[in-house]
Structure 1
Amino acid sequence: MSLRDKIRAGELVVGTFVKTPAPHVIEILGHAGLDFAVPDQEHAPLDLGAMDQLALASRAAGLPLVARCWGQSAARISPLMDLGCAGVMVPHVMDGATAKSVVEAVKFAPRKRGLSPSPRAGNYGTMTAPAYIAASDAQSVVMVQIEDVEALAHLDEIAATPDVDVLFVGPADLSQSLGCGFPSAELDAAIMQVVGAAKGAGIAAGLFVGDEAQIKGWQDKGVSVFVCGSDQGLLLKGARRIMAALRD
């Protein structure tokens, strides 16, 4: 079952952000059994060359990559799909028109994305164009991030955009936009607005959490897609645990 199939079925899926431009990290996370990983171009030094290596490692490890891209344009999104990423997470999507343009950069069906089976995603030209189009459109994941107070007024139209799979809350940016604490009751209420819109459209709600202990509570509230921490955070947590044990 593909990552998209799991998401569409409402299964709990858990990934982590990757901020280190090293393919070994992807291999290790794959061995750890995560459902997916999110290379973070928005907040880490991951250029297209680094993304190429991470995508290569993802295939070797069987770990789908949903790349958080630099921006919302097709020029930023489509090359990531050509590399073999399973999908994209796009920051600061505020309305249905933007969500539609994101889908057009990921999917071939709208006939806007440039077509070539020659990259890794098309198995270097060994797939026919029709087979490549069908497989890519069936399996590619579109996560749009809800991070701005302006987006809250457009949740229904964003969620109703065909082929959007996940409304994914970026709680840090959303709290900043709302002018409230992180965490806070006001932020939680906004997150529940997003969950409600996703549920109403029959798609998944996603959320970043800093610790795995937060997952169960939000899962009970209707969130099924989680990004938990990052590779850097996991490394830091493990090192701190060793030193704390020694000092005790």
Structure 2
Amino acid sequence: MRENQLKRKLQRGEVVLGLFVNCSYPGFVEICGHTGFDFAIIDLEHGPLHPLVAENLCRAADCVGIAPLVRVGKNDSLHIQRALDIGSAGVQVPQIETKADAEACVRSAKYSPLGSRGLSFYTRAGVYTAAGAQITDKLNEESLVVIHVEGIRGVENLNEIVSVPHIDVIFLGPYDLSQSLGIPGQVRDPRVMDLMHQCIDTIRNAGKIVGTYADNPEVAKQWIDAGIQYIALGVDVGIFLRACQGLVKAIRTEA
């Protein structure tokens, strides 16, 4: 198994940039690596992708030296196990609301003695049995566990959530936070911003890494200045949409 360079960068305090991937074409992931992204989040929550497609996207990421993470649809042991068995660098788990949720996530993501992840070496992560039994400790060490706190209940329980060991990144979801405040989509509203800053302080004071989503570079820079290390800078389909809009607008306005 390869050393998880994304995890090393985070441990060194570096800011890392990635994006969410909804498209099935592996070439898009390779492009992300060639342009300098550090990671790609293969989206099995909101995206239409199948685990078999996700496995090939992980291969594409490995080809260009970026870390493939898989966002699962829910905090479920089978979903998490499959996301890791396909050889991803880590898993992102949405809607963590309590300490018990966070502990369950870790149990599903880690092999014994850290957790109870189902064990099979006949997987891409297990090198199809080529690596031998000692690989479980290495996989426990190298895999990233990213949990999403994206609702009021999670925020209220954040002091307990941050105490759970073996969680690498706590990802704040601004859109779901805005919805939980009754102002869906208004992610720049002062109420959302204030809540985000409170969470950042709590997470960093606990020695954990903070992540979030940013629609554009300006917003990303603001969150980096606030202490966020792990930035998901857009979604592949949204980036393509804006690029196409710009091309069409450039021609139409000249006509």
TM-score range, shorter chain: over 0.9
Structure 2 alignment gaps of length 5 or more:
none
Output the CA distance in 2 between the equivalents of 1:163 and 1:153. Answer: 21
1:57 aligns with 2:78: no
Partner of 1:216: 221
* Count of aligned residue pairs for this structure pair: 247
Overall identity of the aligned pairs, in %: 32
Distance 1:200 1:186 in 2: 21
TM-score (norm 2): 0.92
Q: Aligned runs of 1:160-171 on 2, under 5 Å?
A: 160-171=163-174
TM score, norm. by length of structure 1: 0.95
Aligned to 1:241: 246
Rounded to whole Å, the distance in 2 between the matches of 1:142 and 1:194 is 18
| Deviation digits for residues 128-164 of structure 1 (CA, Å, limit 9, x no counterpart) | 211x112211111111111110111111111111011
Give SS of 1:120's match: coil
- Distance in 2 between the 1:58 and 1:12 partners? 19
Counterpart AA for 2:91: V
The offset of 1:13, in angstroms, is: 0.4
* 2:120 aligns with one of 116, 120, 132: 116
Q: Which amino acid aligns with 2:116?
A: K
Q: What is the match of residue 203 of structure 1?
A: 208
Stretches of 4+ moved more than 6 A in 1?
Answer: none
Structural mapping, 1:31-42, within 5 Å: 31-42=34-45
Kept after mapping to 2: 8 A contact 1:8/1:165: no
Greater fraction of residues in helix: 1
Please point out which of 8, 11, 19 is paired with 2:11. 8
Which deviates further from its counterpart, 58-67 or 152-161? Answer: 58-67
Q: Distance in 2 between matches of 1:3 and 1:49?
A: 23
Whether 1:94 aligns to 2:97 is: yes
Q: Is the CA contact (8 Å cut-off) linking 1:143 and 1:166 kept in structure 2? A: yes
Q: Which shifted more, 52-61 or 33-42? A: 52-61
| Contact 1:55–1:85, Cα closer than 8 Å, also in 2 | yes
Residue 231 of structure 2: aligned partner: 226
Deviation digits for residues 90-149 of structure 1 (CA, Å, limit 9, x no counterpart): 11000111111111111113241112222111222111211x112211111111111110
| 1:84 counterpart SS class | coil
Structure 1 residue ranges without an equivalent (≥5): none
Counterpart of 2:193 in structure 1 is 188
In 2: Cα distance, 1:32 partner to 1:126 partner:
33
Report the alpha carbon displacement of residue 3 of structure 1 after superposing the two structures with TM.
0.9
